[in-house]
Amino acid sequence: MRRKHYVGFLFIFMSASIWAQNTADQYLKNYEARIKLERIDDVYIPKDLKDALKELDRLTDTKTALELISSSEDTIASKLHFNLGRWMQIHWGLEEGSRLSFYLKNRGLSFPDDMMDLLIRCWYRHLKQLPLDDQQLIDHYINQRQMEFQLRKANDPKPIIIKKS
């Protein structure tokens, strides 16, 4: 009986270690494939910010768009974060990778929440026919993340070790 448990444990341990070794490689391979796709799970993936705004316009009826612009930008960004933002994160692959997330990463954004917020705020400004000032928003997210990193670093007595691949 003890031997069966040992063999079972050994099988589970070996399976887990083999699977864990492939996870990073599989993620990278999947990411590299996804950033080249125009459609993922039959959903169109915008190629850049301008294309994303055009797609949001296409997906939204006029009545809803008019309701959105009656509130402030901060209110809309907050209200839409967990519904439209979440939809974009899942369907436009902001976390797993897509051509839109790749475009935004190349512009300096690395957090899906920042990507969602940028897209929502730019779309709001687009609807209101205001200047997008997208680079200013991106700089704000980058500065905010750097300040958060510095604060964590200052509050953590252990040194941060960055491994080079």
* Token reading at 36: 């080249």
Calpha distance 37→33 (Å, rounded)? 7
Look at residue 23 in the predicted model and tell me its pLDDT: 85
φ, ψ (nearest 5 deg) of residue 40: -130, 125
Q: Do 109 and 89 touch, CB atoms closer than 8 A? A: no
Look at residue 142 in the predicted model and tell me its pLDDT: 97
Look at residue 13 in the predicted model and tell me its pLDDT: 52
CB count within 10 Å of CB 33 equals 11
Q: How far is CA 29 from CA 25, 101, 130, 138, in A?
A: 6, 16, 39, 28
Look at residue 67 in the predicted model and tell me its pLDDT: 94
Stated length of the chain? 165
Question: 3-state class of 39 per DSSP?
Answer: strand
Helices (H), 35-83: 49-59, 62-68, 73-81
Q: Do 69 and 96 touch, CB atoms closer than 8 A? A: no
> Among candidates 126, 161, 120, which has minimal Cα distance to 141?
120
Look at residue 147 in the predicted model and tell me its pLDDT: 94
Strand partners, 43: 40
Q: What residues of the chain score a pLDDT lower than 70?
A: 1-22, 157-161, 163-165
